[in-house]
Structure 1
Amino acid sequence: MYEPYCYGEPPRKLSRGLPIGITLLAIVVIGAYLFVSSALSNDPHQTSAIVLPPTRPNVKIALSFSEGATMRLMHLGRARLGMALPRYRPQLRQAREPCLLDLFEAYALAATTLDDLMQEYPARVELISEYRQVCSDLQAEVVVLLTLTDERLFS
């Protein structure tokens, strides 16, 4: 029968099947690549893996000279030094000297970078040992400043 109010074809809607199909195809292609590459390798114990690029640091550090970023770094460095040097926690909490505050910021950057390097795969052993040395040098410098200064440092 003929309908009196026929307006033509219904409007077309975009299909969601195409993006899902492309995603599934990509997963199948990557799986096939890993399977074939492991089957064709000369070493039977060698496995194939996809290595993702290193992630950005967990701590969002703005390297601008804004006061807010500097304060966050200073507090982060003070807290991390307090964890690394529990004997000096009271002095670290009271420290207000600009040279110590600069060391807190430097320690925050070095320790955060060290954490990020330790999470990378493959590990960059030389760089990790270098940053460990930087962190221990900064810790030693903070300890020297805390032990050699007098009461005017903590005003």
Structure 2
Amino acid sequence: MSKLVEALAMTLTQRRGRARLMLRLPHWRVAFDQSRDPAFLDICEAYELTCNGLEFWRSSDAPTRSERIAEYHELATSLELDAEAMATAWTKIGEHDC
């Protein structure tokens, strides 16, 4: 499958999440860019949705604002660790399309 077709197959949310992860974890940019692993794309999607939620709660004046910010920040950090672990595994086996 060509890179163009693969890129079109990714959802906009997955592409945005991957871009955010590439900015947040620059050491893994090449690996993230090359991966078409469905599990990684799920992480990208979850990361984008989590970042959107975090932005929402940061601008909220709801009484639970602080708790929600902490929860979404913890989730974002966990997804970053998952993405790093996946990229580390790709490096160990020498592939980006596990």
- TM-score between both structures, scaled by the size of structure 1: 0.52
Is contact 2:17-2:46 (8 Å) kept? yes
Tell me how far apart the structure 2 counterparts of residues 129 and 104 of structure 1 sit (CA, whole Å). 20
Q: Report 1 or 2 for greater relative contact order, CA contacts < 8 Å, sequence distance ≥ 6.
A: 2
Please give the per-residue CA displacement for 1:102-135, whole angstroms capped at 9, x wherever unaligned.
1100101001110111111246101100000000
1:148 maps to 2:65: no
Tell me how far apart the structure 1 counterparts of residues 56 and 71 of structure 2 sit (CA, whole Å).
Answer: 13
Structure 1 distance, partners of 2:75, 2:45, is: 13
Mapping of residues 1-155 of structure 1, within 5 Å: 71-122=11-62, 124-149=65-90, 150-154=93-97
Distance 2:15 2:87 in 1: 17
2:5 is aligned to none
Cα distance in 1 for partners of 2:94, 2:37 equals 11
Q: 1:144 to 1:131 in 2, by over 3 A?
A: same
Contact 2:31 2:96 in 1 (8 A): no
Aligned mates of 1:112, 1:146 — CA distance in 2:
23
2:18 aligned counterpart, secondary structure:
helix
- The CA deviation at 1:152 is 3.6
In structure 1, the gaps of 5 or more residues are 1-67
Q: Deviations over 1:2-52 (max 9, x none)?
A: xxxxxxxxxxxxxxxxxxxxxxxxxxxxxxxxxxxxxxxxxxxxxxxxxxx
Identical aligned residues as a percent: 29
SS in 2 for 1:153: coil
Q: Which has the larger Rg?
A: 1
Higher normalized helix content (fraction of residues): 2
Separation in structure 1 between the aligned mates of residue 37 and residue 94 of structure 2, nearest angstrom: 11
